[in-house]
Structure 1
């Protein structure tokens, strides 16, 4: 894999100030001749070399661990870092709470799988994103840890690559990843040892707009 496809683990952004204006710029992904940026804590956007944003920021070049920009007439080099979950004060002052987009950024792990840390009913859960799963799917041991009385759910039969297995269908009060929180979510609980990790399936993903950019998946909440 090209080293420019890596996502750095340290957040490094920049607050550029010229006169009465200031811009908060953060680089969250690098690709050949492209960079994924977050400006003023807003939605992620992918820029090609030479492209100019509405804020007047121009991507000049992409390097091994960062990118170079023209920001308000200044040549600035920025290293990569994760997207910010909260908007900067400058952006918050111009955006009403109702208009703020709620989103989550999911990155691939060393094996190339999209893995996200989230919560089920307020308790931490690690998910693997699986667009082939109809529902959020939890192993029975994980459901027990979360205090879910899943045996009261509807018993169903699920087809898997290893044959049919029994599972229990129920509703989860709240599932959240990043800033995205979805309520009354369909889920199934599987017994046995066939599932090593919880799956973030389409019962959650269908309520978001999904955008994949190389090693980054951005989920923006729709409802």
Structure 2
């Protein structure tokens, strides 16, 4: 009997820790109303629902949550989180800024750097000072001509060991290192974006790892 009790308890805990769907229903100061698998909860920052969803932050415009170790920002325009129990693919959601640009932080070869999504760039584009800070080895790298808004210049063509954004990690990502201060921020081009699935929804850019 005791063994059956603990087995049942383990099943219940397992189910509670795997929320299938999370939806933002309302924002009330520093609290958020979340609907989790059909049940509604009002949470304050630092609190966790019985299903295992933690509210990290709530403002008048968004709620930031953690589900199964993944962080996600929800707004009333894009209120639905991923179906974590059914989808094993890593997912990142980016909010556009006032100019419609999507900015985030990435880890390049294990070092953190700010990046901006640029579907018009064929590779990751990195300026020379940033490449030095990241410790990128340019010796023996092929030098190629590149076109910028200021005209033609040259850049080093290299392969990055890894580029990580959220839970998405890609290896051997092609990049160009410019010989000057352009671009001011690392441009996340198609050598990364072409290897993930992208979807835009109500001003939110969704990146999903491919199986």
- Pairwise TM-score range, normalised by the shorter structure: 0.5 to 0.7
Offset at residue 40 of structure 1 (A):
2.1
After superposition, residues 1-80 of structure 1 pair within 5 angstroms as 40=19, 72=38, 80=62
Q: Which structure has more strand as a fraction of its residues? A: 1
SS in 1 for 2:130: helix
After superposition, residues 69-108 of structure 1 pair within 5 angstroms as 72=38, 80-82=62-64, 84=66, 86=68, 100-108=88-96
| Structure 1 residues without counterparts, runs of 5 or longer | 1-19, 25-38, 48-58
Contact 1:41 1:84 in 2 (8 A): no
CA deviations 1:92-127 (Å, max 9, x no partner) are: 8x67xxx72112222223443100101001000110
2:144 corresponds to which residue? 156
| Structure 2 residues without counterparts, runs of 5 or longer | 1-11, 44-57, 71-82
Offset at residue 137 of structure 1 (A):
0.8
- Return the alpha-carbon distance in structure 2 between the equivalents of residues 63 and 206 of structure 1: 36
2:6 corresponds to which residue? none
- Return the alpha-carbon distance in structure 1 between the equivalents of residues 95 and 116 of structure 2: 10
Aligned length: 168
1:192 matched to 2:171? The reply is: no
2:191 corresponds to which residue? 203
Offset at residue 196 of structure 1 (A):
0.7
1:7 corresponds to which residue? none
